[in-house]
Structure 1
């Protein structure tokens, strides 16, 4: 017998009546002539299933458990015993493994089959149920259909929770749960008993999903705060120790360079190299300190750029403009940090060296390739005097650092001179926002 699907529990009742008719029709095709029709149980649920307090206790147990794989087997066995106890003597009983939950936990990519305690599905049936649910996940519309699936185990498969977001990698951002009832389900469905089981499981799993999501968010926030505190502690240590020593070394190496002006050529070159390396080390240390204090949390990249503009407006009389054509773009922290450093360096160069009066930042999506692949394009352009990158002296290593940072995040970096004058810095990377 083929597998039938019930509609999702969220927002509407499962399509139980339609499934019941289909199961009855399939049984009629194999029922011998003159055979007695199946005996249906009473339509009024027995006391066990009307015990609201007991069912609420089951729901609460599911919602508050730490691990569904440990809690659900005993819950399912209890519900299975309740169902069998509520059926009339002539009704079909649930046999071994004829009730289970196909569950995918928060953040997991695959489903697993959870059976009642002491019972187990055959391996082939478990694997086929996992395949069916995985195929349904690729077609969200299938969750609201009643259809047959060739090769599927006989019975009814009903969505208990919604799979609202699998994310770009296919890993679920919410949990996803299905209830499978074995072949002798028509009598149970027609009696309305299945509704009680579905409601109990669905409410409990939905609440458990909310609890897990809230716990994951709290954990994420706690880890982020701990990392922020650790970065600030490290920044303070760098500032009070290494940065001070490097500042002194930079000043002394500058004195050494001036003192070596009349020394042999190789001594002058050596003194200049020591001074250059001291400046580089001091600058990189200062950037590490600034980066440790940088915070953006869940703010999109446009907010980071806004903050940079606000920072430079207090230090310069230039006019700054942000042309943002992306509503929301969230980057991983490591990538956002490198982008921020590159943009800050470009803006610093414009303020210090370009003699510019206007600076424009532009953020947009661009397409390239076949088929087009979305890329992010970030442009920093001023109306200053411009320069030729080939004429930059080796001692001015800011441009090299910007190129290194772009390489670290897999971005394309370029410095060009527009026809109208000034300098344009472009940074582009493949769209992989979070």
Structure 2
């Protein structure tokens, strides 16, 4: 018996025992049948052998009695008697296979002669009758034992069936009745047990399904909570190290798509917030912008909040919208919008996570705005303080020197005014006037402020101011509204543009000028072009000091200044890498390395 058979027997012991009992009963019945058949066959053989021996003995006696009168007839009777002995089936079998007892074997050997005595034949017949009776007794005893075992097996089977089918099921069925469970009717005990078992199995399966459903819900909530914490940790770590960038926001939105199980997502920002971050007003991963964002203006989207079902303009399909305002008590910066089909069920936990992310973004934007404003105010206060110090010290000294030089020139005799002394005095006066003019320009530079709305508004003010003071038409083409610049970078760019446009207005004799700001995602280029007579770059020129200021500010930006003078026109090009683009490059390089 192999392992599979043993496992099967352990799994179905009752059925196996029943089969074994039935097999034993069948074997006993077969044994009883065989015994009866053997008994009948042996009885017939023994009776036939006894008859044959009896007939042979009678014929031998008759032959002996007539041997003297009719020898031929006696011989025939002897031959017939011996043929009866030799042709008997049982005797032939014993001669070939062996007799059951030594006595019978000896007597059979004696009968091999042609003339066997009648007494010998009678003795053999008597011995055969005795052997037949003994064999029949043994077979009868075997039949009795077999019948007893058969009845015992039938009794055991009936008793086991009663225990298995009546006594053992009665207790659980009675307990079911006690707890109020109605035992269903059935054709028999097994049918009732099967019905009860099916009901219990169905209830167990229902409870298992419910347990599995609750387990899936709990696991889903736990996984969602873990992913939410991981996402919050990620965004807080990113915003703690660096200001929000387009790449950071798109990566955040991409992770939110999978976490919230929505189809489309976007961060809609107000124009000032977008300029502050250096991104578009609508930030969305590639091909994942919600339909509602493209169908409505930004001001309409700012009013969205909570969970809504809105129709799509291009079809009658309803869209499920999750919106969370990006705001702080002092103002609103935008709105975070998720869009999905109506088949996707949005839960309160999804909206709560969206509102939490929106709150974190709002706080980051608020901190960045406050930081930029504070740095701008600090820088302007420092520059104003320096301007006041220069005005109170160096400007007063130059004014005093200018007054004293005027007094000196006034008291010089006429003959000395045309001599070397007069020329030196005039050269000193020109130097003082130049220094005073440069000081005024320096004070103007220090007192120049950056508009609260950023560089674009500052350049527009400079262009409008210089255009109103001259006949030069100045226009500004700002293509870097989405590039975030620091306060120092805005001040340096503003001063470079002011110096360049001042030179154009004063010296270029131009009719128009164009200021262009552009970016190729690696660096920013500021170009000032005019249609005048060009710029003289040799030292000692009238506007050499302004060019020096532009070169110095270009170096402060970490960039380079190129001056191209043509007839007609000139072109000043300043190229530098803003801190925000350099930071994005470092982050991208670090991500690639990791």
TM-score (norm 1): 0.48
Ranked by relative contact order (alpha carbons within 8 Å, sequence separation 6 or more), the top structure is: 1
* Higher radius of gyration, 1 or 2: 2
TM-score (norm 2): 0.37
